[in-house]
Amino acid sequence: MVLMAKPKRRAEPRIIIAKTLVHLAALTPLAILLWQMWGVARTGSNALGADPVAEIEHRLGLWAIRFLMLALAITPLRQLAGWNVLVRFRRMLGLYAFAYATLHFAAYLGLDLRSYWTQVFEDIAKRPYITVGFTAWALLVPLAITSTAGWIRRLGRNWARLHKLVYAVAVLAVLHFWWLVKSDIREPALYAGIAALLLGFRAWKRRRVRTSLPARA
C-alpha cells in the first residue's frame, strides 16, 4: 500500500493533534489566571481571594514546578512503559516550566515588590529561599535558549551534559518551596517526594547499567 511512501520528516497528524492538546492544556491555567486577574482589576471581584498578589505568585510558581516534574517524568515513563513517543513532548513541557517560572518571577518583581523592586537584589543575596528560587530560574535560561534544533546540533554530546542541569533545578525549586512555608510542609513535601522519585529512578538506572556492564564483558 501507500505506507512505503510515507515521508519521515513531517510530523504525523496524530502528533500534531496531541501537541495542540498539550499546548491548550498547558495554557489553560494561565488563561484562567489572566481571566481572574482581569475580573479583579476591572470589578474588584474576589476571584483571587483577599490577597491576589500572593495568590498569583503562588499559582504561577506551582505550575512552574508541576511542568518541571512532568518534563522530568518523561524519561522514566519512556523507559518503564516503552512509550517512546513521549519524548516528543519533553521540550514543550520544559519550556512551559520555564515560562511559568519566568511569569512567577515577573509577578514577584512587578506585582509584589513594585516600587521596592530593587529589594530583589538584597533578597537574592540574603534570603536563602529566594537565592535558590532565583538560581533555579537562572539555570533554566540556558536550557530554554539551547532547546532549539539548531543548538542541539551545534552542542552535540555537550547538549545532554548541559541539560543535566535540570536535575539541579528540580532540587532548588523544591527547596525554594520548602523554605518559604511557615510550618505546614505537606505540600512542598509532596513535590520533594515526586522529585526524589524521578531523580532516584535515574540514579538507580545508572547504577544498574554500570554494575551490569562488567558482567556482560
Partner 1 sequence: MSLREVLDIPARDITDEAIYRDRRRLLAALGMLPAWGIAGCSEAAPPPSNVVVTPDQAKAGFRTAEEQTREADATTYNNFYEFGTAKDDPSNAARTLRTKPWTVAVGGHCAKPGKLSLDDLLKDLQPQERIYRMRCVEGWSMVIPWLGVPLADVLKRFEPSSKAKYVAFTSLSDPRQMPGVRASVLDWPYREGLRIDEAMHPLALLATGMYGKPLPQQNGAPLRLVVPWKYGFKGIKSIIAITFVERMPKTSWNMSQPSEYGFFSNVNPGVDHPRWSQKTERRIAGSASKLFAERIPTRPFNGYAEQVASLYAGMDLKKWF
Residues that bind partner 1 (CB under 8 A): 37, 40-41, 44, 46, 48-54, 111-116, 119, 122-123, 126-129, 179-180, 182-184, 186
**DSSP codes of every residue in 36-98:** HHHHHHHH--STT-S-HHHHHHHHHHHHHHHHHHHHHHHHHHHHHH--GGGGGGHHHHHHHHH
Among positive and negative, which fits the CA dihedral 78, 28, 98, 182? Answer: negative
Least distance to partner 1 from the beta carbon of 137, Å? 18
Residue partners of 178: CB distance under 8 A and separation at least 6:
185, 188, 189, 192
**CB closer to partner 1, 112 vs 165:** 112
C-alpha cell recorded at residue 32: 484562567
**CB closer to partner 1, 116 vs 151:** 116
Least distance to partner 1 from the beta carbon of 145, Å? 31
**CB closer to partner 1, 22 vs 120:** 120
C-alpha cell recorded at residue 162: 548541559
**CB closer to partner 1, 47 vs 155:** 47
Least distance to partner 1 from the beta carbon of 51, Å? 5
How far, in Å, CA of 106 to CA of 103, rounded?
A: 5
**CB closer to partner 1, 119 vs 146:** 119
Least distance to partner 1 from the beta carbon of 133, Å? 12
Least distance to partner 1 from the beta carbon of 56, Å? 8
